[in-house]
Amino acid sequence: MRKGANVMPRHPIDGVLLLNKPAGLTSNAALQKAKRLYNAAKAGHTGTLDPFASGLLPICLGQATKFSSYALHGDKAYRATLKLGVTTTTGDTEGIAVEIRPVEISLDAVKAMLPAFTGTLMQIPPMHSAIKHQGKALYEYARAGVEIERKPREITIYKLAAKGLDKDLLTLDVRCSGGTYIRTLAEDIGEALGCGAHLIGLERTDAGPYSVDHAHTFDELAIMTESERLSVLLPPDSLLASLPRLDIDAESALLLAQGKHIATPDNCPMGNLRAYMPRGFLGLVEAGTMLVPSRLMDTSELAGKSLPGSPTTD
């Protein structure tokens, strides 16, 4: 049989799947599984969750991948479980214990200390992370026993609340800026408490405009019909929900689709905008002295047209 003869064609699916990732699965493995489930031609996620972590993993399908960076860098929220009294080489359960200390702390003492970890902070990324150095992920160096100097990064902790303390297990709710490492936060809190700590559980509950309350597990998706699975996808423009909306007429949309810069409409907000034409979502545009196309939906059909009675100009 000719290779690939029975392979079904991939579907041009455009949307955002809110996946409730199970613990024990890498983000890339979850992405590939979702891509196969939808038989999608293109897919990408909006920010890695560690294998031991669970919770919300927005997956972009098709043209939604053009706007994934806005969810990648958006704010996040987590429910984190720390084991006090033990530090590990990785700051989580995947590492080896390096120090054990007694735990003599009350929940009130934890709550009194937490305000010191809210607001704008400088955080040094952990060695066991996917940040690249000279083309290699830091965790590759860490596994080889090589320590790479990392520059502190500015992060913001908007909310940090202690939800419970059961002997040596501390549960925290965290709302933070994108790029925050909860493992590092857990280690720093453990040191501030004088006993050390590492992360043993992590659930992402929010990412940008999305909540885990509206996410679906693989088990739930598996028993859906194809039409039901398609119905749970959110539109690509949901990724840009935090940006101001700009409505433009069909002629302006045509010029932008052709790569033209057009006059910025009166009373238009400056910066990145989500633009809509009469037929629906056009894409991301940037407003300044001129209105410039940035990342647009597939406009090949639109861009191939010309304005009746008027030539297009740059």
Q: What are phi and psi of 122, to 5 degrees?
A: -105, 125
Can you read off the two tokens belonging to residue 118? Answer: 């809210």
Is the Cβ–Cβ distance between 118 and 160 less than 8 Å? yes
Can you read off the two tokens belonging to residue 167? Answer: 């002997």
Q: Active-site residue among 50, 92, 188, 237?
A: 50
Tell me whether residue 50 is one of the annotated catalytic residues: yes
CA–CA separation, 218 and 22 (whole Å): 9
Distances (CA, A) of 224 to 21, 198, 216: 17, 38, 11
| DSSP character at residue 253 | H
Q: What are phi and psi of 19, to 5 degrees?
A: -100, 135
3-state secondary structure 72-88: HCCCEEEEEEEEECEEE
End-to-end Cα spacing for the chain: 53
| DSSP character at residue 95 | S
Residues with catalytic function: 50
